Chains A and B, each alone.
Chain A
Amino acid sequence: MKFVIEEFTYVLIICVLIINALISIYGIVYRRSLTKKLLSLTVLSDTVFVAIILAGFIFTYPIVPPVYSDIRGADKDFLLNHASDPLPQALVLTGIVIGLAVNALIAFGIIQVYRLTGTIDARKAVKSLLEEGVE
């Protein structure tokens, strides 16, 4: 049983990510406002991205991006020991773009719901749309 600052930081980041995810799931499920649901969704997706990046982080000093400074590959050995994992970064890069597009689509949908029903409260909007359907 010993206290090491690196391990504490690592565990702290994981705990913060878990709590962040829980709060954003609460926001998605319990908040009535569609905009707040969307905000919670973006926080959740960013939390997941940070978790994926954390999976590729290594605790060495110095830590550098996985980019060669020389096209002939002279700093290969240095990079193999000190570069962060490129695979999670590539996954997160594509994930962010898909997330951005999907968030834009959801935002369009929310604006359209507001135009049709005059409210962004999820329950009132559903009620209003159902009533229109009955008529």
Chain B
Amino acid sequence: MKRVIILISILAVTLLSSLVISFVAEITVPRSLRDLSKYYIANTIIDTASPESVAAIVWDYRGLDTVYETLVLYLAIVGGLAIFTIKGGFPRGEPMGLTELSRNATKIIVLLIATVSAAIAFHGHLTPGGGFPGGSALAVATMLIIPVYSVNILLEKGITSTKLVAIRGFALTGLGLVALLPVVKGLEIVTNQKFYPGFLNGVVISGSISLYNLLEFLAVASGFTAVALYLSIPEELYKGEVRD
């Protein structure tokens, strides 16, 4: 009862305060864009060869911010995996998993998720999306496989945490190289159109933006899959480690 009263009073305060403010104060809602945003939208195709302004800002106009932000993501996941490190490698056991029905349904769903995540990542320079959302979507597929098929199936198929961390390292090195390569020609770091081609055989690739999206897709997907693998290690093992 007490909770219901608190909830109703919060709702009442929110509604009443917004009613009073919108009646009394002179509120003007924004109806046009700021000049900076207009610049980004007007020049995105000329500057970056990408029809998607958000991807252009993320990987070109403010590309250096995003490179450092990827470093934060990398360090956070490395920190998490460091806490969870156990002696003697990743434990393996007998695969268990759920029933045949849920397994078959999961097969279809995982295929769909993989396709959609690839579409999100590889069309990131043309449509809303990009490496981050695509990679996170692909990691969801692994998180679905772990409860339905058990983590041991993944390990048997060769998807181990060592390999995932290696893929992640490879993708991040590639990302750093794509950002640094223009320096060889005396251009600024994270240069796009002056160094990378915008079109390849008539197909829009938006220079480095599609490369960044591809590498970020690999880095995010492998990073979060590694996190999911480590989170699925049986609790007894860790308790033994802590006691030691």
Contacts and interface: CB of A to CB of B under 8 A. Distances in A.
Contacts of B80: 104-105, 107-108
A72 B204 CA distance: 11
B73 interface: yes
A95 B12 CA distance: 32
B23 A80 contact: no
Interface in A24-81: 56-60, 65-73, 76, 79-81
Interface residues of A, number: 55
A115 B220 CA distance: 28
B31 to A, nearest CB: 5
B91 to A, nearest CB: 16
Contacts of A12: 14-15, 18, 22
Given A93-B132, A104-B76, A67 B127 contact: yes
B228 to A, nearest CB: 10
Contact of B77 (A1, A89, A101, A111): A101
Interface in B1-44: 10, 13-15, 17-19, 21-25, 27-34, 36-38, 40-42, 44
Contacts of A86: 37, 40-41, 53-54, 56-57
Interface in B184-214: 204
Contacts of A105: 76-77, 79-80
Nearest to B223: A101
Contact of B65 (A19, A67, A83, A94): A94
A126 interface: no
Interface in B82-136: 83-84, 126-128, 130, 132-133, 136
B23 A1 contact: yes
Contacts of B231: 111
Contact of B242 (A7, A14, A100, A116): A116
A108 B78 CA distance: 11
Given A67-B53, A93-B58, 9 more contacts: A10-B27, A16-B14, A58-B30, A66-B52, A76-B42, A83-B41, A87-B36, A90-B57, A94-B132
A124 B42 CA distance: 57
A19 B10 contact: yes
B62 interface: yes
Contact of B37 (A56, A70, A115): A56
A8 B20 CA distance: 9
A15 interface: yes
